[in-house]
Amino acid sequence: MQVIDVLEQSHLSDFLSQHRVMVYVGEGEYPLLFFMAFLKKLRSCENAVIESIDVQECGLDAAQLRLETSFLGNSTIYWLKSFDMLDEKKRKLWFKYMSSYIGPNSIMLFVDSEHKLLMDNHKEYLRIDVPHVIDDAYALRLMRALQVKSSQAGAALLARMFKIYKKITLDQCVHVMHYVPLVSTSNQVQVDQLIHETIGMERSLFDLASLFFACQREPFFQRWIEERDRFSPIFWCSFWSEQLLRAASYVHVARNSSMIEAKKISQRLPFSFIQKDWKRYQAKELAQMHEYLYGIDFAMKNGSEAPMLDLFYAKFFTKDFFSSR
């Protein structure tokens, strides 16, 4: 079942209350903005009682007392916050508990698709798939399901946005929807500026990082020529430093612990790196590149105007940082 199908239920709270355990399954980063909007809609439903349990702060025993108690026979829908941040041992304990949970309340949680093997052992869960990226048709359904004000203006904004981008992330779509009541769709300049500032800039940076980590030299430099003058050299140095530090941590955990643990620290990394390109690297190599950028940053802040970022890119694509291989 898709999450959009859940949102379009005419009696949403009644539908959810029919199920004891609902597992929302996504791939990639937790869509925070989407679930904030989802829970807001759910709380607006008549007779819906929604409460949250932060499973990082509340142990299973304490949570169990709440989950197995009802007030005057009324059912509560509990959202388990931070479930994906638990270690594997605690997640297994929770899945074991939920496999035999019979009420009187309902449980909802989000997990990464890496947990599929755990869920396959418990067919009684209602699995609800949450897409990472969506197209124009899905976005229009989402806007209507979330009852965005000025839906006609919203439809026009979405139409313009998907002329520029074929697909966007779920959170990007929700982000744009917040601006629908404020923007005049008759003002094309204002609309394009909004789309660029909410999606374009972020997407351009992540596209650039994707090409970099994938070692696609020619496409990278083509994009770099388009993007480099939008920000100062200090910004670019900071951006690449953050990317390399996060990438080094991700590779270290992925190679020495588990992919599930690695995905907890994958925020702001390109999706293609998380999926496959991380395998190209060793953590020490990425850490060495980060150290090199630290030297560039120091030189820039002390007045150097040499094209050191271009030298950094040249060293990367000629594999100077990987001499130990």
* Predicted local confidence at residue 324, as pLDDT: 55
Domain endpoint, select from 157, 185, 201:
201
Q: Does pLDDT of 195 surpass 60?
A: yes
Q: Are residues 139 and 110 in the same domain?
A: no
- Our measurement of the distance from residue 278's CA atom to the centroid of its chain's CA atoms, rounded to an integer in Å, reads 18
Same domain, 49 and 61: yes
Closest CA to 55 of 22, 23, 26, 78: 78
Q: Is the pLDDT of residue 284 over 60?
A: yes
Strand residue runs (E) in the chain: 21-26, 50-54, 77-81, 106-112, 126-130, 133-134, 168-169
Before 131, cis peptide (omega within 30)?
no
Task: Find the range with the poorest average confidence among 124-133, 156-165, 203-212, 237-246.
Answer: 156-165
> Does residue 62 belong to any structural domain of this protein?
yes
- Using pLDDT thresholds of 50, 70 and 90, give the confidence band for residue 184: low
Range of the domain at 24: 3-130
- Flag whether 254 is in a domain: yes
For residues 233 and 304, the answer to whether their CB atoms sit within 8 Å is no
Q: For the chain, how many structural domains are there in total?
A: 3
Q: Are residues 145 and 172 in the same domain?
A: yes
Q: Are residues 196 and 240 in the same domain?
A: no
What CATH number corresponds to the domain at position 103?
3.40.50
Same domain membership, residue 98 and residue 42:
yes
Instruction: Select from 183, 201, 219 the last residue of a domain.
Output: 201
Res. 84: pLDDT tops 70: yes
Confidence of residue 108 (pLDDT cuts 50, 70, 90): very high
Supply the mean pLDDT for the chain.
82
Domain match, 95 and 28 both:
yes
Residue 230: band (very low, low, confident or very high) from pLDDT cuts 50, 70, 90:
confident
Same domain, yes or no, for 177 and 68?
A: no
What would the mean pLDDT of 191-208 be, rounded to a whole number? 71
Is there a single domain that holds both residue 122 and residue 11?
yes
Q: Label residue 235 by pLDDT band (50, 70, 90).
A: confident
Q: What token pair was written down for 229?
A: 């003058």
Residue 223 resides in a domain: no
Q: Is 40 domain-assigned?
A: yes
User: Has this prediction a pTM greater than 0.85?
Assistant: no
Looking at the domain assignment, is residue 225 inside a domain?
Answer: no
DSSP label of 105? S
In the predicted structure, residue 234 carries a pLDDT above the cut 80: yes
- Tell me if 84 sits within 8 A of 58, measured CB to CB: no
Higher pLDDT, 61 or 302: 61
Rounded distance between C-alpha atoms, residue 250 and residue 241, angstroms: 14
What does the pLDDT read at residue 96? 87
Per DSSP, the three-state class of 148 is coil
Q: Quick one: 153 and 166 in the same domain?
A: yes
Same domain, residue pair 180 and 296: no
pLDDT at 278: 92
Q: Are residues 18 and 41 in the same domain?
A: yes
Q: Is residue 7 part of a domain?
A: yes
